[in-house]
Amino acid sequence: MDGKKFQLGRRQFLISSGMATAATLASTALAADKIAANSREESSGTVIIKGLQVERPVHKPYKLPSLEEMMAASGGSMTGAQGGQQGGTGGQTGQGGPGAGASGGPGAGGPGGGANATPAIYILDGKYEAGKSKPSAVTGGKVTDRFAQGVKIKGDSSELGGVYVKGYGTEYTLYDANIEVSGSGGGLGGTATLASCDDHATLILRNCNITAGGQGRGASAVQNYGVLKVYNSTLTSNGVPFTEDLSSSSQKAQLEVDGNCRAHVTLSNSWSYFYYSTIASEGWAALSTDGSEGFVYLEANHCTVKTNKSGYGTYADGSCHNFLNYCDFDVASMAAIIAGEADCTFYNTNAKCGSYFGLIHCVMGSIEEAGKLRVTGGEIKTKKAVVLVKSANAEIVFDGARISSEKGILLKSEISKDPNAANTADPKGKKVFGINATFRNMDMEGDIVHTEDKKNRDMNIYLEQTTLKGAIKDARLSMTPLSKWTATADSNVTLLGDIDRGQIDAPAGVTITAIANMSGTYKLAGSGILVLKKS
């Protein structure tokens, strides 16, 4: 048949003279354009993978029950065993007297044997109480109703405390003090702690050196709506001489720490602030919180935080809010532990950790709680996983931080053996918040592993302007256009939202299996294989 050739790009078409109309030419050109576009898309790696369209979970804050409600639910009372008075909330144990905590096991230690300690300096309702103090333990300096300056307090007895400030409207400042007292403290806060603030009072420490020794003996504490401010000071708790397996606490295995002292603790609706100071503990804890009774605030700025033999840097117990800015953590175990509905926020903080950077767990048994960890800037180095989540919901954000793990694990979930961990078998059929981790403006190497807890909750990973080199196991993945993931070992994920196939890569011998809204098998740029399966 008579006709002529029509050239479009590198393709030739034979058009018969009888059919060579404008409409035919336009239709043919459109089809050719589509073929060429598909070819270019394949060669350039811009194939769009259709992922699952799932809304990002939003955590609804959970109000923790009161201590009275928890104790009533467990069949207990507000009073612990003899020598314990009030135990802890079940979040931390391992020191102090044997008071019963909300978990039914040993509490975090009530005032215990140190409850009747006599402070060297007792300030009540804005007045120095000589009759309630032990002036013979104070040498040098000056003591008034409003401040003490240049004093030295030294002793070796569980019956001796340091400076105790109590009473609504009281504000007391301790300048240039040197306090060193040993002997069992028996618990948290109270008169045995070397710098203690209680009952709506404010205590300010400036240029002080405070060293506590003995089991459960704290360097500083604040409780019952008190405010503690620490400037340019050193707070140290040495505990009893550290030996292997020192603590027999029922919580030791859950927290993965050992020891018998906390350098500092913030309790019961109180506030604590630290500036340009060093807070150190031989074992168990440096900057601790406990028994919030609804609210606790802890803040450290430009501080050095240490645990020497074992222990964490800071702990955010239920309803506690911890903020660490421009600090240096050098800790034998983890930098932070978060229990249930609580949060830790780090800004430009560097951390060297003997185990994890963050451990998030649940101690109240509620599937509605979620621990929050937010990290902006700084450099974090860990020997184990950067973050470990034990049977808990978590909201994790890393933004512009440098993180690395000697084990090569960035984030891992694990089934908790704690009897108070959340049970996800909810009779009302509520969907749990899960583990939601955002990594923003970062270059990371390491694995993300959710295998152990995947039956109980989802793990959602959001890469925002971030590159990741590492395997992902049993997690759901979302990626912004400027992000890229290179799997270094066989991986299995669920893809959330649309993703450019060029953002995913793997070397030869590595297969990525992904649940999506499309199916197919593709060879990736690095010669690895991507297998898409419909959900």
Which residues have CB under 8 Å from 364's CB, separation 6+? Answer: 64, 65, 70, 90, 102, 318, 339, 340, 341, 420, 422
Two tokens at 104?
């039914």
Residue 245 domain-assigned (yes or no): no
Is 26 domain-assigned?
Answer: yes
The single residue listed with the structure tokens 């270094």 is 488
**Domain with 8 in it:** 3-44
Q: Can you tell me whether residue 163 is helix, strand or coil?
A: strand
Report the alpha-carbon distance of residue 77 to residue 86 in Å, rounded.
9
Residue 38 counted as domain residue: yes
pLDDT in tens, 102-137: 332 223 333 333 468 999 999 999 999 999 999 999
Residue 138 vs residues 130, 150, 207, 213, 330: alpha-carbon distances, Å: 12, 10, 17, 18, 33
Burial class (CB within 10 angstroms; exposed 0-12, middle 13-18, buried 19+) of 328: middle
Q: What is the average per-residue pLDDT within 67-96?
A: 46
pLDDT tens by residue, 311-320: 999 999 999 9
Which tens digits make up the pLDDT trace of 435-470? 999 999 999 999 999 998 898 899 999 999 999 999
Per-residue burial over 78-91, b = 16 or more CB atoms within 10 Å of its CB, e = otherwise: eebeebbbbbbbbb
88 pLDDT band (50/70/90 cuts)? very low
Residue 7 lies in a domain: yes
- State yes or no: pLDDT of 100 exceeds 70: no
Q: Give pLDDT, residue 245.
A: 65
In a domain, 286, yes or no: no
SS3 71: helix
Show the tokens assigned to 99. 């008071």
Using CA of residue 384, residue 370, residue 336, residue 480, what is the dihedral sign? positive
> Per the domain annotation, does 238 fall within a domain?
no
Closest residue by Cα to residue 67 from 80, 82, 81, 50? 80
Looking at the predicted structure, is the pLDDT value of residue 146 above 60?
Answer: yes
Sign of the alpha-carbon torsion through 145, 147, 153, 158: positive
Specify the pLDDT at position 66.
67
Query: What pLDDT, in 10s, does the model give residues 7-45?
Result: 444 344 444 444 344 444 444 344 334 333 333 344 444
Whether 17 is covered by a domain: the verdict is: yes
Q: How many domains does the chain have?
A: 1
Calculate the average pLDDT of the chain: 85
